[in-house]
Amino acid sequence: MTQSTEKMAEKVQPSSSVILRHYGDGDEAGILNLLNLCYGRWGNIEKWRWLYSKYPGFASSDILIGEFNGNIIAHRGLHYRHLDINARHKVLTVVHVDGAVHPDFAGRGLYSKLNRATAEAGKEKGACLYLFWTLKGSLVYRHRIKTGFVEINQAPSFIKVFNPDKVLKAGLRDFLHKNRRMSAVLHSMKTELCFRIGDTEFRISDLVVRPGLSSDRKHSVRFILAEEVVYWLAGFRTSSRAGRIRSLALLLLAGKVRVKFGSLYSLLELTRKGAAIIGSL
């Protein structure tokens, strides 16, 4: 989004001057820019084609676009699937995927407008059910409950982590991308934060992609993590701030996280920035 577009966005009333339309050829670059901005490294054109243009039965009406001043500022993908009731009866369902609104347009009612348009699009195709998946307790979860959605119980799910370092890195990247306050604090530090799990080590500067964030900092703090920490991440996003702080304290006390300071400066800076980091959890 250009600077002039950002200035114009400030004057836009909720959903006014924003055009909602279906996908058209040439929208791919704008869609990818928006999804990568909102989700953080969402993917490339090959992933998009696999999920959309090459998806069985894909139609341009399966993607809803919000456009303002020639810029794509909202997106909603729709996948249609049949739900088998029994051997002779099937129900067409519409599944919401990749919903995104540009941060400059948050709080203007555009997300609600997308939801209404999604419902209408599903009805036009004969869908009887509207399904979605999201983190329990998230903003999207609370919004859905308020707008008439009902949470359904599912069979227990089980996971086993084969690559804890990749899971940890992906979880931290997602959390930092959505937590601008935390990212800003880390960006201001002159100390590099490093995470080691098993034989793998990575740096915060690998995850927080921001101009001016140097990856060759002279001072460092290393967090050495036990592999079971990755399972704890599953509930981190939906926990309250008090719950997150309590969990971190318990991990430290249990020895699941060990901290090594590379210098006196790194110790002093982390101590000085500690309150801001905890406050942004």
Quick check: is 157 in a domain? Answer: no
Is the same domain home to 223 and 267?
A: yes
Looking at the structure, do residues 246 and 123 belong to the same domain, yes or no? no
Domain ranges, residue 125: 3-146
Residue 16 is assigned to a structural domain of this protein = yes
Q: Are residues 8 and 122 in the same domain?
A: yes
Tokens of 56: 């069985």
Residues 261 and 168 in one domain: yes
93 and 81 Cβ atoms separated by less than 8 Å: yes
CATH number at residue 49: 3.40.630.30
Residues 221 and 273 in one domain: yes
Both 51 and 90 in one domain: the answer is: yes
pLDDT in tens, the chain (281 residues): 444 344 434 433 444 588 889 998 889 999 999 998 888 778 889 998 898 888 888 888 889 999 998 899 999 988 888 877 777 778 888 888 888 888 888 878 888 888 888 888 888 888 888 777 776 666 677 777 777 777 777 667 676 777 777 777 777 777 776 677 777 788 778 888 888 888 888 888 777 655 444 555 778 888 888 887 777 766 666 667 777 778 788 888 888 888 888 888 888 888 888 777 777 77
Q: Where are the beta strands (DSSP E) in the chain?
A: 19-22, 63-68, 71-84, 90-101, 129-131, 191-197, 200-203, 219-225, 257-261
Statement to judge: residues 200 and 136 lie in one domain: no
Task: Find tokens 């329990």 and name the residue.
Answer: 136
Q: How many domains does the chain have?
A: 2
Cα(first)–Cα(last) distance of the chain, in Å? 28
Interacting residues of 204 by C-beta distance below 8 A, sequence separation 6+: 176, 186, 192, 193, 194, 195
Q: Where are the alpha helices (DSSP H) in 189-232?
A: 229-232
Q: Are residues 183 and 133 in the same domain?
A: no
Same domain assignment for residues 187 and 215: yes
